Chain A
Amino acid sequence: MRVPVYEELKITKFDVMNVLDQMKKSRAGQVPCYINLNSLDDKETEHALQVIEDVLKMIKTSAFFPYPVYIISNLHGLETQLAIIESSDKLPKHFMRPIKRLTSKELSLLNKAVTLTNRITNTPLQQRLRELHQGTRHHKTLFKLSKELDFYQGIIEKIRKRKNH
């Protein structure tokens, strides 16, 4: 059991097998982690991002839930679904904690956190996210239809008022 604080994934070679191996070793998705791509150029970064996305799909891990996988790169306009941050200083402070020996109370809290993490990991997150997107699409359609109806009703109301005058 590890306290969920940042862990750096040091990947030197961005081929699927190597990244897969590193991610499995570091338990990506079970603890917050980041990969520094600042030493790579444009093309290499794009390739690395593609490989990381593929590997995350392969191990059925979300890049955001329960723990995020951040990419550190100072390149702009990268096409990816992963969260990109300019430098490690700008990572969210929530997971930046000094590690020390845990007391029994802290250990019981950590146990609970691990159980919850496992429950989230066992949820089909991709499917749930798809369902969520579908739901939002329906909501947008409903909004458009309501707006149209309101427009027609507004015209009818104006005509009625005009007639009464």
Chain B
Amino acid sequence: MTDKKKGNKDLKGFEEVMDWVDYDGPATDKNKKRLKKHDPYDLYNFLELENIRLQKIEMFFNDKVQNLSENHTTEKLCDIQQNQIDQTRKQLWGTLHANNSIYLKNLRLLFNKVFS
């Protein structure tokens, strides 16, 4: 009896959590379900998660998307890329059609082989 009382004193402050524990044996599926049902912080945790989720959505639409539409740089980047493509094409054309280019040499070889 005295041991029990002493044990109770040691566990002071944990009374709230005490009834979650099943002293009858290892946790079975049934017990787990019961523990889940009694979780007092379930709703609190849910509301906290919900606030984080809503904050992220709000920030995404009001800051990020708005910023994207107001200061979009992609169109300018597309223009720069198109200019570079034009220049590279010209460079490639010049390289391929130079008198001593490998492309023309190979083409010459091919024609000579086929038509000679």
Contact at A109–B47, with CB atoms within 8 Å?
A: yes
Known: A106-B44, A119-B58, A135-B72. A149 touches B95 (CB 8 A): no
Contact at B57–A66, with CB atoms within 8 Å?
A: yes
Chain A to chain B contacts (Cβ below 8 Å), 7 pairs: A97-B46, A106-B47, A113-B51, A135-B68, A156-B91, A156-B92, A159-B102
Interface of B: prevailing SS: helix
Closest-by-CB residue of A relative to B56 is: A116
Contact at A109–B54, with CB atoms within 8 Å?
A: no
Closest-by-CB residue of A relative to B65 is: A128
Contacts of A106 in B (CB 8 A): 43-44, 47
Instruction: Determine if A139 is an interface residue (Cβ-Cβ < 8 Å).
Output: yes
Contact at B81–A156, with CB atoms within 8 Å?
A: no
Interface of A: prevailing SS: helix
> Which A residues fall within an 8 A CB radius of B?
3-4, 65-66, 94, 97-98, 100, 102-103, 105-106, 109-110, 112-113, 116-117, 119-120, 123, 125, 128, 131-132, 134-135, 138-139, 141-142, 145-146, 148-149, 152-153, 155-156, 159, 162-163
Contact at B82–A145, with CB atoms within 8 Å?
A: yes
Known: A113-B51, A159-B95, A159-B102. A149 touches B85 (CB 8 A): yes
Pick from A102, A132, A142: contact of B74, CB under 8 Å:
A142
Contacts of B37 in A (CB 8 A): 98
A-contact 0/1 string along B89-114, CB 8 Å cutoff = 10110011000011100000000000
Contact at B85–A148, with CB atoms within 8 Å?
A: yes
Instruction: Determine if B116 is an interface residue (Cβ-Cβ < 8 Å).
Output: no
Contact at B61–A153, with CB atoms within 8 Å?
A: no
Give Cα A152–Cα B65 distance, bound, in whole angstroms: 34
